[in-house]
């Protein structure tokens, strides 16, 4: 499809802000999710308006008083001229009129729900529940009419003021310049390195050449569930009738899984579970060369990239790794007293000397769950065992530490040198380690939907920063098929700034937070992660405030006496976007890069383009080819004819929606929007025609089918 027909007159779109009452909104379901590569055609529901009924909006959110925009505020001429915010009246309605809406022309709208009541919605232990996200919505009527002339009561200044308030000033943009070709994510690493005063890809001067451990040594990792449990406890010969049903092994024996040291890097130890090949390298899956390459990948890619992007490792303490357990031991009922307490002392103790080696432990373990995890702090079982030994001081000292990344053995293919899937999980988990080390905020989460959007979002970004990118296919396949694609196709319902909520598909939310933090890292002053971590270390616990610290821009307000940009006498002002501004720009960028073809990229400024990901790209995975779908977009009229009695679109708080209109016949397109004060609308691609005091549709714009 194309927006604009080169051989026809341009349509003129005129905003007429009417003082009509907000009509009641009827029912209507959300458009169904489409398959990858398709554009959703939306749905037409029964009329949302009831002009004979109460003069109020009866949608899922309650309307409130909207703050009117102030046209007298300073006007910036350097706004993205192809995107304008849609002004609404005091009752949050607007009527739009497109003059001479011709065949082949199209106009798009981006809706963003910025309801502040659900910003960073999260589990409240006091109520024992997560807040219910309202199924908020907006409605649109559209028809082709012969209006003739239209009254216009806005100016370019009005539109610019509204747009400036929502999107900020392009002059303060401090992100990456738009590139017409997809860039490597190493460009982000280079930006971070230079911002920190470092040379990217420089040799590591702190590489340690010695190790206190030798290959082949075995340790026991308490955080990894054993798939081979310890022997069953049966009654002993002294009391063959003893009830042994409630007798248990000590926690370090019951919950641990053994690992053998198979590779030593400058920043890591690689451990292989003894439940595979007795923890020894083989010639099919865990070859010596692959294991050494894994250590080298962590040392030369993951460790330097993520410490540059976020912060340094603060400690290497770990109490969930034990030594000297006797896994050949056998217990019977005779080893327990009448209260079930173990009488026999079994060997084993935490390996507290590991921290002196200053290496991250990476444990390839067996698990019933794919992927990997990172855990910090000592387990309850370990704490209980230390308490029995009178080591309360050690419990207190190391209660908030951990230096082991757990990578499930399912991530490693048989007879294949490609371990990118495992590397991507390793990068994800290492950010969690850095997050914990640097005192970043944690809080209780809903047990039915365990998810931390700030922490998980930065870990998702870490995969990309280290080069295991979506478009390259060098990533765990389900990160694409189960996370990114479902998010893009359900972008109306999966919020970003929401901790785990049973209403939200948590798997899709991984895709949401990845996209959001990638946008943040591409479009703001470098040093984003360092600023966020620094604020967290100082005690800032609000994730929204932390993100806003990262959303820093700088604008030169005075060139100084030499009148030359980029010299020492420039006067620079720092500006931080609000979360609402950041999220709004992110939502628009997802549409522009998710549907418009590259030939039209210059229509929009660099704030609305990604540089290191292609939202419409084709990805070759081991299990087949996946085409990223771009964002789910409603195309109207779905049946090819007007009028459209009602388009009812559900958009949860901190989600976005996208609709495109075409099918003109030369008459005027009249549209009525009904919403509340939290829904913001943006129209594109349009330019302002001062001669007609109206917005005109930008020609020669192509939309992917």
Proportion of the chain above pLDDT 70, given as a percent:
80
Interior angle at CA 396, CA 395 and CA 397, nearest 5: 95
Using one digit for the tens of pLDDT, what is the confidence trace for 498-514? Answer: 998 899 988 999 999 99
Q: Inform me whether the pLDDT recorded for 288 exceeds 90.
A: yes
Residue 143 has pLDDT above 60, yes or no: yes
Q: How far apart, in whole angstroms, are the C-alpha atoms of residue 132 and residue 137?
A: 15
* Secondary element (H or E) of residue 156: helix 156-167
- Confidence at residue 667, expressed as pLDDT on a 0 to 100 scale: 86
Check pLDDT > 70 for residue 622.
no
d(CA 378, CA 53): 62
What's the number of CA atoms in the CB half-sphere (13 Å) around residue 490? 21
460: confidence class by pLDDT, cuts 50, 70, 90: very high
CA–CA dist 380, 400 (Å, integer): 12
Query: Tokens 């070709």 label which residue?
Result: 181
Window from 57-71, 375-389, 481-495, 625-639 with minimum mean pLDDT: 57-71
**DSSP reduced 3-state for 313:** coil
**How many Cα atoms are found within 13 Å in the side-chain-facing hemisphere of 517?**
29
* For residues 209-230, average pLDDT: 87
Enumerate the β-bridge partners of residue 575: 553
Which phi and psi (to 5°) does residue 469 adopt? -90, 160
What would you report as the CA-atom Rg of the chain, rounded to the nearest whole angstrom? 29
Q: Residue 334 is encoded by which pair of tokens? A: 């005779």
What values do phi and psi take at 674, rounded to 5? Answer: -130, 125
In whole angstroms, what is the distance from residue 426 CA to residue 429 CA? 5
- Give dist(CA 495, CA 205) in Å, integer: 43
The band of 663, judged by pLDDT with boundaries at 50, 70 and 90, is confident
Residue 203: count other Cβ atoms within 10 Å of its Cβ: 7
pLDDT above 90 as % of the chain: 41
Question: What are the structure tokens assigned to 498, written together?
Answer: 């929401």
* pLDDT for the residue numbered 197: 87
Q: Rounded mean pLDDT of the chain?
A: 80
Indicate the Cα dihedral angle 696, 700, 703, 705, nearest 10°.
Answer: 130
Residue 242 predicted with pLDDT over 70: yes
Backbone angles phi, psi at 407, to 5 degrees: -120, 120
Per residue in 13-40, is it b (16+ CB within 10 Å) or e — as a string? bbbebeebebbbbbebebbeeeeeeebb
The DSSP element (H or E) to which 458 belongs, if any, is helix 453-465
Nearest to 269 by CA among 474, 426, 425: 426
Distance, CA of 494 to CA of 511 (rounded, Å)? 9
| pLDDT tens-digit map of 61-100 | 333 333 333 434 333 333 456 888 887 777 778 777 777 7
- pLDDT number for residue 78: 36
Cis peptide before 581 (omega within 30 of 0): no
């Amino acid at each position: 499809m194309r927006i604009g027909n080169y051989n026809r007159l341009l349509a003129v779109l005129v905003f007429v802000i009417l003082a009509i009452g907000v009509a009641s909104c009827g029912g209507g379901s959300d458009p169904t999710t489409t398959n990858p590569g398709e554009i959703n055609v939306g749905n037409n529901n029964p009329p949302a308006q009831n002009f004979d009924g109460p003069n109020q909006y009866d949608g899922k959110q309650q309307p409130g008083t909207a703050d009117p925009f102030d046209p007298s505020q300073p006007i910036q001429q350097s706004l993205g001229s192809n995107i304008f915010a849609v002004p609404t009246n005091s009752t949050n309605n607007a009527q739009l009129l497109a003059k001479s809406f011709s065949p082949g022309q199209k106009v798009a709208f981006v809706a963003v729900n910025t309801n502040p009541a659900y910003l960073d919605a999260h589990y409240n232990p006091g109520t024992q529940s997560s807040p219910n996200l309202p199924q908020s919505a907006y409605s649109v009527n559209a028809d082709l009419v012969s209006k003739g002339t239209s009254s216009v009561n806005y100016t370019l200044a009005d539109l610019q003021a509204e747009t400036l308030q929502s999107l900020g000033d392009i002059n303060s943009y401090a992100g990456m310049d738009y590139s017409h070709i997809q860039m490597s994510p190493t460009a982000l690493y280079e930006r971070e390195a230079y911002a920190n005063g470092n040379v990217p890809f420089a040799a590591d001067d702190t590489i340690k050449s010695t190790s206190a451990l030798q290959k082949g040594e075995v340790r026991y990792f308490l955080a990894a569930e054993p798939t081979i449990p310890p022997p069953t406890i049966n009654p002993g010969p002294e009391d063959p009738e003893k009830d042994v049903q409630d007798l248990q092994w000590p926690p370090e024996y019951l919950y641990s899984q053994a690992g053998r040291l198979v590779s030593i890097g400058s920043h890591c130890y690689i451990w292989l579970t003894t439940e595979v090949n007795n923890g020894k390298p083989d010639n099919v899956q865990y070859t010596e060369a692959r294991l050494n390459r894994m250590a080298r990948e962590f040392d030369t890619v993951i460790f330097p990239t993520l410490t540059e992007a976020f912060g340094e490792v603060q400690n290497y303490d770990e109490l969930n790794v034990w030594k000297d357990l006797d896994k050949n031991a056998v217990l019977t009922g005779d080893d327990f007293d009448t209260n079930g307490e173990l009488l026999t002392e079994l060997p084993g103790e935490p390996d507290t000397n590991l921290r002196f080696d200053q290496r991250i432990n990476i444990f390839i373990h067996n698990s019933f769950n794919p992927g990997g995890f990172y855990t910090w702090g000592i387990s309850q079982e370990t704490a209980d065992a230390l308490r029995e030994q009178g080591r309360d001081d050690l419990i207190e000292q190391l209660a908030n530490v951990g230096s082991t990344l757990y990578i499930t053995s399912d991530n490693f293919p048989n007879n294949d040198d490609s371990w990118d899937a495992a590397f991507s999980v390793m990068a994800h988990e290492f950010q969690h380690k850095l997050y914990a080390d640097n005192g970043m905020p944690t809080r209780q989460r809903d047990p039915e939907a365990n998810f931390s959007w700030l922490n998980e979002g930065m870990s998702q970004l870490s995969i990309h920063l280290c080069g295991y990118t979506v478009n390259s296919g060098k990533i765990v396949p389900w990160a694409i098929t189960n996370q990114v694609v479902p998010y893009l196709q359900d972008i109306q319902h999966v919020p970003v700034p929401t901790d785990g909520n049973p209403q939200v598909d948590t798997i899709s939310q991984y895709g949401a937070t990845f996209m959001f933090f990638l946008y943040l890292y591409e479009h703001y002053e470098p040093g984003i992660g360092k600023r966020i971590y620094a604020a967290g270390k100082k005690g800032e616990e609000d994730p929204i405030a932390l993100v806003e610290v990262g959303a820093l821009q700088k604008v030169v307000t005075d060139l100084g006496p030499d009148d030359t940009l980029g010299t020492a006498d420039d006067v620079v002002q720092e500006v931080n976007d609000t979360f609402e501004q950041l999220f709004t720009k992110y939502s628009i960028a997802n549409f522009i890069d998710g549907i418009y073809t590259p030939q039209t990229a210059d229509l929009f400024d660099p704030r609305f383009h990604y540089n290191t990901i292609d939202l419409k790209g084709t990805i070759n995975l081991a299990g087949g080819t996946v085409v990223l779908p771009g964002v789910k977009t409603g195309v109207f009229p779905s049946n090819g004819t007007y009028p459209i009695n009602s388009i009812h679109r559900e958009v949860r708080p901190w989600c976005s929606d996208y609709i495109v209109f075409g099918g003109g016949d030369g008459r005027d397109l009249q549209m009525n929007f009904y919403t509340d004060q939290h829904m913001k609308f943006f129209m594109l691609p349009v330019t302002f025609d001062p001669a007609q005091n109206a917005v005109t549709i930008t020609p020669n714009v192509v939309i992917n089918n």
